[in-house]
Structure 1
Amino acid sequence: MIRSSVPRRILVWLVGSAAVGLLIALPDSGPRLFSFSRTHGPSLVDLLGMVVAVVAWLPVVWLIWRHRSALRDPAGRLSAGLAVAGVILLTVTIRGDLGLW
């Protein structure tokens, strides 16, 4: 049995991420539920995968928040900067319909 909170949260993240990978990899030809851009929008299966991804990441976000003082060192700042840059690039790619870029 896992007693520590950190390993349990990491396990939830790993299992959730694996489930998301399987959901997103499933062939899906259903209609879009809504659109992010002209060519991007989730179907029902994709939306379910997105919800599972968010739920799986919540324990990790909670750990980061609880240990946010670690983000003050150079490695923490670099990690936070890379995370922000990734979100910005993903948003630009989806909103700009940049396809496989």
Structure 2
Amino acid sequence: MATLIEPCPFCDSGHLHISHHLLSHSVSCQTCKSTGPHRRQLEDALLEWNHTSKLLRSARTGEHVQVHGRLHDLEDAVRNLASALRHGPGGQEAAAEYKLEH
């Protein structure tokens, strides 16, 4: 059964090598030198490598969405504060209020 090998879970490289040892097999990345678990069956080594790759990619995607959302919120706050400082006599009060909230 042919198994597609996922990219490296750490550096996302596709430059991978399958190692055949005396009693085991493993997948290693030729770019960052990470190595997957050694398993007696080649298929098991590939499945574990792929599982790790998918988990870490999924975690990075979730973190990226959270960071991007927080960055968007901060940009909005800066724009609102800059506008409050530029307009009207209440600009200084808005700046002081912003400092108290954050």
TM-score range for the pair, normalised by the shorter chain length = under 0.3
Question: Which of structures 1 and 2 has the bigger CA Rg?
Answer: 2
* Structure with the largest fraction of strand: 2
Q: Which has the higher contact order (CA 8 A, sep 6+)?
A: 1
